[in-house]
Chains A and B, each alone.
Chain A
Amino acid sequence: MSVMTKTIAEETGGQIYQPLLCKIGSKRVLTPLETLFRIELPEGRELGHRPGQFVQVSILGYGEAPISISSSPTRKGYFELGVRNAGTLTGAMHELKEGDKIGIRGPFGTFFDAEKLAGKDLVLIAGGCGLAPMRSLIQYCEDRPSEFGKLTILYGAKTPGDRLYKEDLVEWGNSNTFACNYAVDGVPDGACFDEGQVGLITVLIPPLSLDVQNTVAVIVGPPVMYKFVIAELKKKGLTEEQIVVSLERYMKCGVGKCGHCAIEHLYCCIDGPVFWLNEISGIRGAI
């Protein structure tokens, strides 16, 4: 079951629902819908997260929402959130300026466990917004390549315009650390895409040559993606013990109390969002 990492709640006297006000250090527009926020804790403190975890972001008067941490703990002095303008809170967040304060609780949830992944070949498969949490792991691998075997990134988005972290994608593509394969579902009239294939992300899997015994695949993406990607990976010979997924659920508290994120006996916020596939394979409605 879940491992509780230390949260910044200790800063608020153990009040688990009270956010800590943090500064927006900088803002970078990723797409018309998504923006990357760089957040700084007071007095230069570190968030102390692990790749794959999330925080609860508050804007007073608008509420709270879970947002994955998009940067690796190996990058010090800040953490980053890639946020899609999807509604009330995220919309209000997009209105904020550099220097404004937002409330942060966390870090919460399970993580991509570097210890368990050590020495493995990793296939990092992200779809759409799923690149946000995946980026924390990618950056981690980028900073500590020697801890892992061969590193492959697969990323799929709806259209070229929807792709997140375009500069990062280019950089990863050019680096020797990663083998990168990108896809888009379609290319609208007037746009062009020459960095990969046109088709669903699943088209990127069959051509891979894997050392099946020593590979772990990590998947983060929209709900519809998992079933198909997992099926392709299984065809390649990967077992459920070799697949890690990160799931999204409606979350209100982040600490296993409000009940919104429950998948049968598991609470996505504290037992997840990161699961080994075999932990959830028998569970209805998980995938």
Chain B
Amino acid sequence: MKRATTQELKTFFESLGTDYDLRAPVKLHDGTRVLGGLDEGPLALEGGKIPQKPTSVFFPQFDEVFMVSKDGQFHAAEPVKKPIFVVGFTAQDLDCLEFIDKFFSENYRDDIYFNKRDGAVLVGVSGKCGKDGEFLKIAGGKCDIELISDGECFIVHPHTDKGKALVESLKASECGCGGVKMETLKEESDALPKDDEETIDKASELIRAGKVPDDFWNEIATRCIACTSCNLACPTCTCFEVYDREQDGKMVRQRIWDSCQLDGFMREASGHNPAGLQMQRTHRRIHHKLAADVERWGHRTCMLCGRCDDVCPTDIGIKSVCKEIVERYS
């Protein structure tokens, strides 16, 4: 396997720019890390997960559903000009993406999502490149290429044929350790604490067993200001709102991220609202991922990426709520 420096990777990514629409972790003006173009700031593979949901590459905050020109003709959303090549998914992010791939394809296939998703190349990032030196879990798959940091360089591990073919043009030396390095890194990855998983699974069990009373949800709900950040940052949140807007004489049907934390999310035209209390909405936020989706998809759909805990201004992201559930009700 190849072992590449950040500079070598950067050169590699740049060389792909003609064939792909490249998105990689870059550091912006004020230090915020985003999935952006290499022209937006220095490549910043280190630092852990990107604060924004990485799935926004395929399911952005705003999207065109279709457009109707002045002559009344329908035009489907334009397919992307170049396939997307995205670097920077953590193992948890890849789990999230795997789920929303399934979500958007099952039953009816969401053509707008797959417009961007089809043909995309995914590059995962793991190893010793987390925030403040934290070790990021090795995904071991679910992406085309995985970049595993050994603290100095990245071991470049292609997981798919497409990944292998692409990596051939990467100019970097062979690792040459005979797989020893990977072994130790894998061991380190396997030894990562599983506290979060245990807590959330326990909380999921308690919720499904009906052990968490309404009073609890009420109490959490008094702290929610309906800022919608938790939903908007979550890689497995997929809800959207649809509306029509005229633009330059054309009528564009558009969709934007929506949030189940808003009162209007389920309010019907009559005014009737099955989720008219903040308590019901707080309950839904957690219950959906930890109980409803378990029922529907066979697994929880929170992959513990940690974003909702980071963005919630009052500290009631899913991890902290689960911790409290486990402390109080098990």
Contacts and interface: CB of A to CB of B under 8 A. Distances in A.
Do any beta carbons of A and B sit within 8 angstroms of each other in the complex? yes
Interface of A: 2, 4, 9, 12-18, 60-65, 86-87, 90, 222-223, 248-250, 252-253, 255-266, 270, 285
Most-contacted residue by chain A among B111, B238, B255 (CB, 10 A) = B111
B251 A257 contact: no
A259 B268 contact: no
A255 B107 contact: yes
Most-contacted residue by chain A among B110, B246, B258, B293 (CB, 10 A) = B110
A203 to B, nearest CB: 23
Given A17-B65, A264-B288, 7 more contacts: A65-B269, A255-B110, A258-B239, A258-B255, A260-B265, A264-B295, A265-B295
A256 B107 contact: yes
B329 interface: no
B242 interface: yes
30 contacts: A4-B108, A9-B108, A14-B109, A14-B111, A16-B109, A16-B110, A18-B74, A60-B253, A61-B244, A61-B251, A63-B242, A63-B243, A64-B242, A87-B269, A222-B270, A222-B272, A253-B240, A256-B106, A256-B108, A258-B255, A258-B258, A259-B238, A259-B239, A262-B288, A264-B292, A264-B295, A265-B291, A265-B296, A270-B108, A285-B275
A225 to B, nearest CB: 12
A46 to B, nearest CB: 21
Nearest to B245: A61
Interface in B108-154: 108-112
Interface of B: 65-66, 68, 74, 76, 103-104, 106-112, 238-244, 246, 251, 253, 255, 258, 260, 265-270, 272, 274-275, 280, 287-288, 291-296
Nearest to B275: A285
Most-contacted residue by chain B among A2, A256, A262, A263 (CB, 10 A) = A262
Contacts of A253: 240, 242
